[in-house]
Every structure is written in structure tokens, then in C-alpha cells.
């Protein structure tokens, strides 16, 4: 979600989430982030390409900016997981699948759209593989609650999960 909110809007976004969250509620926010501590653009013009052709006005904050905005918005992050490696694999599989079905896809869209999404999927896979961008899941709750109300491990997330 971070990439669609905009860096300047993150504190307001999290304030709105906090106001709608039940006192004992939990938020899980999944978002693509910049790996540049200054929240700079992705390498090789990737950010410009994506902004122009795929997701206009998207912005990638650094994880630290997102966490700071959560706290400003009245939320406490209590679990953070980087899914970059998994997302790199997912995007590589999507890209390979796209290539495997090229003839079908070319019948569905014009050549420009076909090429845009071809570059986008392969470029994003590369960016995640090479630490140009990351993707985080942040679990949080309203700030100011007692520490003994937090789970002691991630076991509660994975109960019943055979993996």
C-alpha cells in the first residue's frame, strides 16, 4: 500500500487507519519500499518508467519513513518482515509465464501494452533480486498499549500452517 499513498501522505494515512482500528485491533500493511535511505528513485530509470506507464504518481518510501509515519499516526509496529526474496521469485515466475504465453497475450492487447508489461515484470523481478526495491509486511496496533498484550512469537500467525 505504501507505494500508492505517497510519502507526504503516509502520516495522514496511518492516522486514518488508527482511528478506524478497534482498540484491540491489528493492522497488517504490505508495501513496496525503496532501499535508498533517502527514499530515492529506483535504479536504471525504473521509477520513471513505472510512473509514466504503469502506476502514475506512485512513490516508494524507505522502510524507516513508513515506520516513522506509522508512529506519527498513532500506531506501533510490532512485527516487520522483508518479503523481497519471495517477491523476486514471484515476479520472475510471472515474467516467465508472461513469456510462455506471449502469443496469446499479444492477441489481447496492442503491442505497446504488451511490451510495457513485459518490461515491467522482468524489470521488477531484477529490481527485487538486486535490492533496488523491497517489500515489507508490517504488523501493528494502536500505540500506547501494554507490552504484555503482544504475542511472544510469530507462532500465532502460522498455527495450522504446514510449511
Please tell me whether residue 138 adopts helix, strand or coil conformation. strand
Neighbours of 134 (CB within 10 A): 21
pLDDT at res. 156: 73
Q: Which of 124, 125, 133, 135 is catalytic?
A: 124
pLDDT in tens, 101-144: 999 999 999 999 999 999 999 999 999 999 999 999 999 999 98
State the Cα angle at 62 between 27 and 60, rounded to 5°: 85
Tell me the domains of the chain and their CATH numbers. Answer: 2-144 (3.40.50.150)
Tell me the β-bridge partners of 37.
Answer: none
CB 82 within 8 A of CB 131: no
- Measured distance CA(38)–CA(102) in Å, rounded: 38
Tell me the pLDDT of the chain averaged across its residues.
88
Please tell me whether residue 50 adopts helix, strand or coil conformation. helix
- Measured distance CA(142)–CA(145) in Å, rounded: 7
pLDDT at res. 56: 81
Judged against a pLDDT cut of 50, whether residue 55 lies above it is answered with: yes
Extended beta strands in the chain, E state: 27-34, 75-82, 133-142
Active site residue 162: no
Q: Which three cell numbers stand for residue 158?
A: 502460522
- Measured distance CA(114)–CA(106) in Å, rounded: 6
Strand duo 27-34 + 75-82: pairing: unpaired
Share of the chain above pLDDT 90, in %: 63
Cβ contacts of residue 50 below 8 Å, gap of 6+?
42, 58, 120
Amino acid at each position: 500500500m505504501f507505494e500508492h499513498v505517497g510519502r507526504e501522505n503516509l502520516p495522514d494515512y496511518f492516522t486514518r487507519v488508527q482511528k478506524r482500528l478497534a482498540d484491540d485491533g491489528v493492522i497488517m500493511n504490505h508495501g513496496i519500499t525503496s532501499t535508498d535511505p533517502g527514499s530515492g528513485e529506483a535504479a536504471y530509470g525504473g521509477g520513471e518508467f513505472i510512473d509514466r506507464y504503469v502506476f502514475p504518481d506512485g512513490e516508494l518510501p524507505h522502510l524507516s519513513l513508513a515506520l516513522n509515519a506509522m508512529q506519527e499516526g498513532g500506531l506501533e509496529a510490532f512485527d516487520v518482515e522483508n518479503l523481497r526474496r519471495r517477491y523476486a521469485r514471484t515476479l520472475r515466475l510471472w515474467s516467465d509465464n508472461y513469456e510462455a504465453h506471449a502469443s496469446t497475450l499479444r492477441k489481447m492487447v496492442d503491442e505497446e501494452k504488451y511490451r510495457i508489461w513485459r518490461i515491467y515484470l522482468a524489470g521488477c523481478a531484477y529490481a527485487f533480486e538486486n535490492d533496488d526495491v523491497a517489500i515489507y509486511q508490517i504488523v501493528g496496533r494502536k500505540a500506547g498499549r501494554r507490552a504484555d498484550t503482544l504475542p511472544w512469537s510469530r507462532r500465532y500467525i502460522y498455527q495450522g500452517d504446514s510449511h
